[in-house]
Structure 1
Amino acid sequence: MNRIFLGLALLLIVGFSAVYWQMGGFKAATVTLETTTQPYFLAGRYYAGPAQDEAFGDLTREAYNARKSGKLRGDFGNIFYNSPESTRDSARVFVGVLVADTTSQTLPAGYTYRTFAAGQRVLHARIQASYLVAPDKLYSGITAAAEAQKLKLSHVYLEHFPDQSKPEVFAVVK
């Protein structure tokens, strides 16, 4: 009986490891110090409150549905206005869709625009991985690069999760 449980446990570990590997979980983020050359426009809604609150998830689902139904064209994106470490307790985030400009689409009710400005010094992290595992890898890569280069972060982050390209995060440097 113990051998059967041991065999099943081993099989599950191998299976989960294979799935994690397929999702890019064993890859590291590539992080470079850059200056943004263009502004990024987000259409969405602002949220401030507990990160585990259902309202935060509702905003994400709302953005997904607006995108899926064609009300908004663009990629998923967020602007976080606080550190990822403190986000576990309280999040200050603009949740929405990265759009090409602020004039070519009509916004859904309750949506506004926010801009992540051009000309900012940022740590730009990218990874070839699923959006399910990418955020932790991207943020840990940014933290490691900031420490290695002795840079101070402003705790403003732009997350971009494109359909056809690598997930990325831009972290503003002071």
Structure 2
Amino acid sequence: MNKIFLALALLLAAGFAVAYWKMGGFKAPVITLETTAKPYYLAGRYYEGPANDEAFGNLTRDAYQYRKDGKLRGDFGNIFYNSPESSRDAAKVFVGVVVADTTSQTLPTNYRYRTFAAGQRVVHARVDASFLVAPDKLYTGIKEYAAANKLTLQNIYLERFPDKGEPEVLAVVK
């Protein structure tokens, strides 16, 4: 009986490892120090409160639904105005869709534009992985890169999760 449980446990562990590998979980992020060449525009809504609150989840679902329905064209994205560690308890985030410009689309009701300005020094992290495993890898990579290069982060982060291509995070450097 113990051998059966051991075999099942090993089979499950192997299955999880393969799934994690397929999602890009073993890939390392590419981290660079850059100056943003162009602004990023987000169409969305601001949220402040616990990250596990239903209201935050609703804003995220709304943004996905607007993209799915074709009401907004672009990539899902957020601008966090506090560190990822503290955002679990008190997120300050603009949730929405990264759009090409502020003139070619009509915004859904209650949506506004925010700009992540050009000319900012940022730590840019990207990874060829699923959006399910990418955020942890990206934020960990940014934190390690900043520490190794003695950079101070301003705790403003742009997240972009394209349907095709690499998820990315840009962290503003002081």
Task: Output the amino acid matched with 1:127.
Answer: V
Task: Output the amino acid matched with 1:62.
Answer: D
Task: Give me the whole-angstrom Cα distance separating, in 2, the residues matched to 1:84 and 1:72.
Answer: 26
Q: CA deviation at 1:164?
A: 1.3
Residue aligning to 1:160: 160
Residue aligning to 2:100: 100
Q: CA deviation at 1:173?
A: 0.0
Task: Give me the whole-angstrom Cα distance separating, in 2, the residues matched to 1:157 and 1:129.
Answer: 19
Following TM superposition, where does structure 1 have runs of at least 4 consecutive aligned residues deviating by more than 3 angstroms? none
Map 1:37-76 to 2 at 5 A: 37-76=37-76
Q: TM-score, normalised by structure 2?
A: 0.99
Residue aligning to 2:143: 143
Residue aligning to 1:85: 85
Task: Give me the whole-angstrom Cα distance separating, in 1, the residues matched to 2:123 and 2:147.
Answer: 12
Residue aligning to 1:126: 126
Task: Give me the whole-angstrom Cα distance separating, in 2, the residues matched to 1:84 and 1:60.
Answer: 17
Task: Output the amino acid matched with 1:150.
Answer: K
Q: CA deviation at 1:98?
A: 0.3
Q: TM-score, normalised by structure 1?
A: 0.99
Task: Give me the whole-angstrom Cα distance separating, in 2, the residues matched to 1:55 and 1:20.
Answer: 29
Q: Which runs of no fewer than 5 residues in structure 2 stay unpaired?
A: none
Task: Give me the whole-angstrom Cα distance separating, in 1, the residues matched to 2:163 and 2:67.
Answer: 12
Task: Give me the whole-angstrom Cα distance separating, in 2, the residues matched to 1:162 and 1:64.
Answer: 11
Q: Which runs of no fewer than 5 residues in structure 1 stay unpaired?
A: none
Residue aligning to 2:24: 24
Equivalent residue pairs, number? 174
Task: Give me the whole-angstrom Cα distance separating, in 2, the residues matched to 1:164 and 1:70.
Answer: 17
Q: CA deviation at 1:28?
A: 1.2
Task: Output the amino acid matched with 2:169.
Answer: V
Task: Give me the whole-angstrom Cα distance separating, in 1, the residues matched to 2:93 and 2:150.
Answer: 26
Task: Output the amino acid matched with 2:23.
Answer: M
Task: Give me the whole-angstrom Cα distance separating, in 2, the residues matched to 1:76 and 1:65.
Answer: 10
Task: Output the amino acid matched with 2:166.
Answer: K
Task: Give me the whole-angstrom Cα distance separating, in 1, the residues matched to 2:87 and 2:49.
Answer: 9
Task: Give me the whole-angstrom Cα distance separating, in 2, the residues matched to 1:7 and 1:110.
Answer: 54
Task: Output the amino acid matched with 1:91.
Answer: A
> Aligned residues: percent identity?
73
